[in-house]
Chains A and B, each alone.
Chain A
Amino acid sequence: MMNLVLIVGGLLVLTIIIALVRVSSLISVARKERTKIDKSSNKVNGLLMLIFLIVSGVVTIWYSISTFDDYNLPIASEHGLETDRLFWITMVITGFIFVLTNILLFYFSFRYQYNEDRRAYFFPDNNKLEIIWTVVPAIVLTLLVIVGISTWNDITGKAPKDSEVIEIMGFQFAWVTRYPGKDNKLGNYNYRLIDAENLFGLDFSDRNAHDDFMPRELHLPKGKPVLLKIRARDVIHSVFAPHFRLKMDAVPGMPTQFWFVPIKTTEEMRVETGNDEFNYEIACTELCGKGHFTMRLLVIVHELEDYEKWKATQQPWLAKNPDYISKIPEEMRELAMINAGISLDEK
């Protein structure tokens, strides 16, 4: 209620200001000749152009420098180093053009204000100038395209054969991950087999699925290529790991992938940032519904040997959910239990 009063009050004040301006302008109209150009306001506007240029320039430079570390997230992947380099090359080139053109725009506005005694310079065209500012941007942009495409091709090229294959799947509203287990092969899935427990819709008639395991976080080895197999099961999501400069949509019915090499463990990053609670995260960047902003997945990067140790301690999903053994075709059950590391006696 208080706020409402405040707003109404604000509007009233605004109205009063408007009325005052109006009265003053009506008076000035009455005094002035009709078609004459109002020189004083022309001067004020011209000056404001210059002031805007200077003030905004100073504020931008000051803010960009003083908060540099806040908006530049530390890089945690090999290709991230490349994209960041490209980013800053682009920043320097476009920044130069940006500053130059804005300075010219506002300075000319200020400099060439109306003056009755002067005529504007009749300058309808000049082919030389036109050619210069067609060719120069074209060359600069070509350079950027060449660097950009080669970077893009490096990143999106084929994943190395020895990559660690991990699956990540988005659904409303969480991420889940799946590791291939001892056989290093992810088992088949079928979305019709999904239920409240079997989030991935694992198809246990495929023996590769028996030893797949699903930790609650995404664990990654440092220094080894990781191939993320990405999918979604309801609407489009998008895997975004800001520190790894990694983003790829998760599309229902169309699996996608992204490979990268983590270069810093979580521990190393904690030291680097001086933040003991630092954690890598994955967020969703494609609008997926009410809980879009809550889709967080914790990412942990280990040293390679720690990663292997961690993997060895993980129990296959089937072993944690033995009820599903009854759904496996009779002749495969024994194999499944062996693969999942369940002792045959338990049954």
Chain B
Amino acid sequence: MAIADIHVAEDTHHEDHLDHEQSFVTKYIFSQDHKTIAKQFLITGIFWALMGGLMSLVFRLQLGFPEATLEWLRPIFGGWITESGKLEPEFYLAMVTMHGTIMVFFVLTAGLSGTFSNFLIPLQIGARDMASGFMNMLSYWFFFVSSVVMFISLFIETGPAMGGWVIYPPLSALPQAISGSGLGMTMWLIAMMFFIVSTMLGGINYITTIINLRTRGMSFTRLPLTIWAFFLTAILGLLSFPVLVAAVLLLIFDRSFGTSFYLSDIYIGGEALPNSGGSPILFQHLFWFLGHPEVYIVILPALGITSEIISTNSRKPIFGYKAMIGSLMAIAILSFVVWAHHMFITGMNPFLGSVFMLLTFIIAVPSAIKVFNYITTLWRGNIIFTPAMLFSIGLVSFFITGGVTGIFLGSAALDIQLHDTYFVVAHFHIVMGSAAFFGMVAGVYHWFPKMFGRMMDARLGYIHFWMSFVGVYSVFFPMHYIGIAGFPRRYYSFTNFDAFNSYADLNALITIAAFITMSAQFIFLFNFFYSIFRGRKTPQNPWNSNTLEWTAPINPEHGNWPGEIPTVYRWPYDYSKPGAKEDFIPQNIPFSETPESNFPNETESIKLQGIDKGDAIIVDETEE
């Protein structure tokens, strides 16, 4: 009841607050409204996705058409195009590195979690706003500063960071080793520090809000799976990102203050460095202790979003709601104990390899459960293919494909051959990159009406989906073959090796597919921005969905619901309930209003709900 207490107080407070006229700056720029902050994250995320995507096209050109001249890129890249019209190999690495960094952190962490956790948590749990609107605002602006620093690093003379997104030292620690490890790396590290602060501020807020600000009746077992996913994601971030801080801080010390945490016995650039006793492997352990949970930070919100969309558009309850929560939790916990499967061949003790292999295989079980549950949800459904639904089905397909290849890579003995080849590139681009990206796009299509009060064009959405879906498979599926053939990642060109001097046609095909996939994203961009201003006006509940956000006004003000916050009486997945008039019953409809579709135990609970309500009123009175 203590929760109800706080809540009532909160309500009145907010209603006072809402009467203030807001200036442009406080409404759109330094806004504390979770919806505006979510849109800020989304737009910034879209900007970065565009940057990251275009970068991938640049290095795909080099890989697919190594003979072609890139002279026409000189106006943009200047000196990074060599005399002979080729991409400078170091710049190729810079593109690869920045593509990875941008996509993993700025697009699929900030852009995905930042957008949808912010937007959906208060709306779906029935809260006026986040627990701390101010911290929420800071979270975005730290991300913004981080983005600015990272963006500027693209234009400095020595180039941005070039050591791969995993920034393994000594390569990332020594400017002598590669030019990007100079100022570019410094800026990368600074940007990442700001980014982590942003993630922390956001995560604390998400967790606090979900625990404390749920509306009356919204118990944890009535939370939509989206909220469960955001909740666990935030916890993962909170526990793992500080470890990256440690790793990065030690790297900064090694780079700037002459310590030897990661450096030992190095002879480079014609001189022996004084550092001794450090271990580059230590960095890898610290990095992957974040890095592995990070891939789940990326994919869990996408899985949550997908669960919601698939259930809504199959007009069926998500199959195994509790099993879905259970497997999310299992994945979240296990994600902390599998990090060293990225390090089977670093010379780590082989016994550790066996242990991490075992743990990695265990995490495959909850992932498999999720897939089976998705498929069962589709079975005998009544499926409406909205663009969001299409992208969600696409996500499930990617999750299967990428999950299956994960079994290969998780097996230490197989990893000997496959590690750091294109097989790995294919695996994580499908299971983490594309799947999470599809989840994000699905979320945009699905909640666009709530964000902007207008609908996106469905037909353009279909074209976007089919081009992207076929495109992504055409880009990444062939990489499995190249990977099995042993082609190493991050190679500027393959012509130096007899073993890798084939597959030129397949590489060209991949590049063409990448261009097609990218061009499909412009259809999305057009649709997105056009619909913000000119899209069809949305009805109150365009997808006939059960969750609370659709009970808020079409264009909710700061505070979300003008009057009282709706009370929740049931779980969010009462779709096509036998006997019900419609094929959906929103969460805020009490069982007493739906006698025709209640199960016996639900009829029982009508009495309890009555008591609940009375109870709350009593609390209300004592407050005054």
Contacts and interface: CB of A to CB of B under 8 A. Distances in A.
Contact of A247 (B314, B374, B416, B494): B416
Nearest to B349: A156
A277 B354 contact: no
Interface in B470-493: 470, 473, 477, 481-482, 484-486, 488-493
Interface string A35-69: 10110011011101100100010001001100100
Contact of B489 (A22, A285, A294): A285
Nearest to B346: A249
Contacts of B385: 41-42, 45-46, 109, 113-114
B156 interface: no
A194 B265 CA distance: 11
A191 B413 contact: no
Residue of A28, A41, A283, A296 ringed by the most chain B CB atoms within 10 A? A283
Interface stretch (B201-209, B286-294, B376-384, B611-619): B376-384
Contacts of B563: none
Nearest to B470: A52
Contact of A108 (B364, B375, B477, B482): B375
B70 to A, nearest CB: 9
B490 A130 contact: no
B80 interface: no
B216 interface: no
Contacts of A233: 265-268
Given A235-B177, A251-B280, A283-B497, A120 B382 contact: yes
A236 B168 contact: yes
Interface in A57-85: 60, 63-64, 67, 70-73, 82-83
Interface stretch (A142-150, A217-225, A315-323): A142-150
B321 interface: yes
Nearest to B515: A10
Given A22-B457, A90-B407, A105 B491 contact: no
Contact of B496 (A14, A97, A123, A294): A294
B28 interface: no
Contacts of B333: none
A133 B324 CA distance: 13
A112 B502 CA distance: 44
B477 A148 contact: no
Contacts of B502: 70
Interface in A238-259: 238, 240, 242-243, 245-249, 251-254, 256-257
Given A124-B573, A125-B320, A249-B345, A151 B413 contact: yes
B414 to A, nearest CB: 6
Nearest to A24: B459
B266 A252 contact: yes
A73 to B, nearest CB: 6
Interface string B363-398: 011001101101110111111110000100100110
Contacts of B459: 21, 24-25, 28, 41
A295 B164 CA distance: 18
Contact of B384 (A22, A56, A114, A137): A114
A67 B506 CA distance: 12
Interface stretch (B41-49, B238-246, B271-279, B298-306): B271-279
B24 interface: no
Interface stretch (B14-22, B522-530, B553-561): B522-530
Residue of A63, A72, A151, A254 ringed by the most chain B CB atoms within 10 A? A254
Interface stretch (B1-9, B189-197, B574-582): B574-582
B253 interface: no
A194 B345 CA distance: 27
A247 B411 contact: no
Contacts of A284: 488
Given A83-B417, A112-B380, A191-B272, A253 B279 contact: yes
Contacts of B500: 283
Interface stretch (B115-123, B141-149, B461-469): B461-469
Contacts of B350: 152-153, 156-157
A41 B420 contact: no
Given A145-B358, A236-B280, A242 B414 contact: no
Contacts of A310: none
B361 interface: yes
Residue of B396, B414, B420 ringed by the most chain A CB atoms within 10 A? B414
Given A97-B404, A113-B383, A120-B583, A49 B357 contact: no
A99 to B, nearest CB: 10
A12 interface: no
Interface of B: 72, 89-90, 93, 163-164, 168, 170-171, 174, 177-178, 263-268, 270, 272, 276-281, 314-323, 345-347, 350, 353-354, 357-358, 361-362, 364-365, 368-369, 371-372, 374-376, 378-385, 390, 393, 396-397, 400-401, 404-405, 407-408, 411-414, 416-417, 419-421, 457-460, 462-463, 466, 469-470, 473, 477, 481-482, 484-486, 488-494, 496-500, 502-503, 519, 522-523, 526, 530, 536, 539, 542, 573, 575-578, 583
Interface of A: 1-4, 10-11, 14, 18, 21-22, 24-25, 28-29, 34-35, 37-38, 41-42, 44-46, 48-49, 52, 56, 60, 63-64, 67, 70-73, 82-83, 86-87, 90-91, 94-95, 97-98, 101-102, 104-106, 108-109, 112-115, 118-126, 129-130, 133-134, 137-138, 141-142, 144-145, 148-149, 151-153, 155-157, 171-172, 191-192, 194, 196, 201, 230, 233-236, 238, 240, 242-243, 245-249, 251-254, 256-257, 277-279, 281, 283-294, 296
Given A18-B460, A123-B317, A242-B486, 16 more contacts: A24-B459, A34-B536, A72-B485, A82-B413, A83-B416, A114-B384, A119-B382, A124-B317, A148-B413, A149-B354, A201-B267, A253-B263, A256-B346, A281-B498, A290-B178, A296-B496
